[in-house]
């Protein structure tokens, strides 16, 4: 098993595809058809195009604060692709590639960042919890889903995401402990992008890896190259299969890098050197997978250009549709906190209506 061969306590990291798109571990290449590889790459391309355009829309004053995903597409798509439609996705707030692959319509992604409650109203067949901005709180929700699966005798798996900074939160430890003790079918993915806003990974823990934190909770842990889609997929597929067999949770640390700002309110030039960013640009997950696909003769520059043109048009048209929604009704603040408004919210809502109906602004 990969979790045994790549013991994080021994400083081992799973890598299959190097930054030049060459296979360096032939025996570990996952069984993915050419059609599936193209599908995953296209999802990464759509996520990248969406990310680029979203940043532009925000800078133009057309959208609210946005959290870029640039550079983390392989971690997101490679992991979610190892799950099945029946499985649960529990996100943080920077898993755009995973959301798109899971089936969340791009329109709803934009509606969320546009500030509307409809952005969290996913289709019935998309088993995903709402985007979670509070750091690491979503991990306990994921464990709860896993416990429910066990109680109901179902074999669905829950995959949950957190950043490297989230591992310093109490909820991280609580979730992993409960998952291990109750043997829940949960796969935890740490998107180690090296920064929690401006705080570097080295300030989060003295542990050599984040994956080794699994040891203290009695579950397998593995560190993978998060910019290597094949490695991320292979590690996650093993973890998902293990969870589905009733063998409990796994912790995966995907080492990647946030090439852009933490959010559009952040200026990363204050706390990191451009030379570091440039070094990681050379490890771009899209570039390496593209080279791999071209080497396999299933992709070329013509297809790349055509696909990007198609996605740019699609993204622009989708956002224009979202802009037609207009301003977000203030009533949504009251109506969407709970399934039914609490007495306090009802009282506040009635006061709000009386205030506005009286002609006051």
Residue-wise pLDDT for 262-301, tens only, equals 999 999 999 999 999 999 999 999 999 999 999 999 999 9
Co-location of 256 and 333 in the same domain = no
Residues 289 and 336 in one domain: no
Q: Are residues 157 and 249 in the same domain?
A: yes
Same domain, residue pair 230 and 252: yes
Task: Indicate the pLDDT class of residue 339, thresholds 50, 70 and 90.
Answer: confident
- Which of 120, 25, 35, 111 shows the shortest CA–CA distance to 66? 111
Say if residue 211 is in the same domain as residue 321: yes
State the pTM of this model.
0.94
**Radius of gyration for the alpha carbons in the chain, expressed in angstroms and rounded:** 21
pLDDT > 90 fraction of the chain, expressed in percent and rounded: 91
Residue 359 has pLDDT above 60, yes or no: no
Q: Are strands 195-196 and 199-200 parallel, antiparallel or unpaired?
A: antiparallel
- Cross-strand bridge partners of residue 310: none
Q: Is the domain of 256 the same as that of 276? A: yes
Tell me: do 220 and 358 sit in the same domain.
Answer: no
pLDDT digits (tens, 9 = 90+) for 162-221: 999 999 999 999 999 999 999 999 999 999 999 999 999 999 999 999 999 999 999 999
Tell whether 243 and 355 lie within a shared domain: no
pLDDT at residue 80 tops 90: yes
Domain holding 141: CATH number? Answer: 3.40.50.970
Q: What are 290's two structure tokens?
A: 């593209």
Total domain count, the chain? 2
Question: Which neighbouring-strand residues pair with 195?
Answer: 200
Active-site hit among 94, 141, 258, 288: 258
Whether residue 360 is predicted with pLDDT greater than 70 in this model: the reply is no
pLDDT confidence of residue 16: 98
Do 34 and 141 reside in the same domain of the chain?
A: yes
Question: Would residue 258 show up in a list of annotated catalytic residues for this protein?
Answer: yes
Statement to judge: residues 200 and 336 lie in one domain: no
202 touches 166 (CB < 8 A): no
> Is 349 a known active-site residue?
no
- Name the active-site residue from 48, 94, 242, 262: 262
Structure tokens belonging to residue 178: 């409960």
Q: Average pLDDT of 11-32?
A: 96
Is 361 found in the same domain as 322? no
Question: Do 125 and 258 sit in the same domain of this protein?
Answer: yes
Is residue 361 over pLDDT 50? no
Establish whether 141 is a catalytic residue: no
Average of pLDDT values for 128-149? 97
Residue 338 has pLDDT above 50, yes or no: yes
Q: Which structural domain range is residue 349 located in?
A: 329-361
Average pLDDT over residues 320-332: 87
The DSSP element (H or E) to which 200 belongs, if any, is strand 199-200
Query: Which residue in the list 36, 271, 281, 355 is annotated as catalytic?
Result: 271
**Cα dist. 56→59, 126, 267, 309 in Å?**
5, 28, 15, 17
Measure the CA–CA gap between 102 and 159, rounded to whole angstroms: 12
Would you give the DSSP letter of residue 144?
Answer: H
- Residues with Cβ within 8 Å of 343's Cβ and at least 6 positions away in sequence, in order, are none
């Amino acid at each position: 098993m990969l979790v045994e061969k790549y013991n994080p306590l021994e400083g081992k990291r799973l890598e299959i595809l190097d930054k030049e798109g060459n296979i360096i571990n032939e025996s570990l290449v996952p069984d993915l058809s050419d059609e599936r590889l193209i599908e995953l790459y296209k999802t990464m391309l759509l996520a990248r195009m969406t990310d680029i355009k979203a940043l532009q829309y925000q800078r133009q004053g057309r959208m609210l604060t946005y959290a870029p995903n640039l550079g983390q597409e392989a971690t997101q798509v490679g992991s979610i692709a190892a799950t099945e439609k029946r499985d649960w996705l529990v996100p943080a707030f920077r898993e755009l590639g995973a959301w798109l692959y899971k089936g969340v319509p791009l329109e709803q992604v934009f509606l969320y960042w546009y500030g509307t409650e409809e952005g969290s109203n996913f289709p019935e067949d998309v088993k995903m919890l709402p985007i979670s901005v509070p750091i690491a709180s979503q991990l306990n929700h994921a464990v709860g889903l896993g416990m429910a699966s066990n109680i109901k005798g179902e074999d669905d798996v829950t995959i949950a995401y957190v950043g490297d900074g989230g591992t310093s939160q109490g909820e991280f430890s609580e979730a992993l402990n409960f998952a291990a003790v109750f043997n829940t079918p949960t796969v935890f993915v740490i998107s180690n992008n090296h920064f929690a806003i401006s705080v570097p990974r080295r300030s989060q823990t003295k542990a050599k890896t984040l994956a080794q934190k699994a040891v203290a909770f009695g579950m397998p842990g593995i560190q993978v190259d998060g910019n290597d889609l094949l490695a991320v997929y292979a590690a996650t597929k093993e973890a998902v299969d293990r969870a589905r067999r009733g063998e409990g949770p796994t912790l995966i640390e995907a080492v990647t890098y946030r090439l852009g700002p933490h959010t559009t309110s952040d200026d990363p030039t204050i706390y990191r050197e451009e030379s570091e960013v440039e070094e990681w640009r050379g490890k771009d997950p899209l570039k390496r997978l593209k080279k791999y696909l071209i080497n396999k003769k299933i992709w070329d520059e013509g297809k790349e250009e055509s696909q990007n043109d198609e996605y740019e048009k699609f993204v622009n048209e989708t956002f224009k549709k979202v802009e037609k929604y207009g301003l977000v009704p203030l009533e949504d603040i009251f109506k969407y906190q709970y399934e039914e408004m609490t007495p306090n919210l009802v009282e506040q809502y009635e006061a709000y209506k009386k205030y506005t109906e009286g002609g006051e602004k």
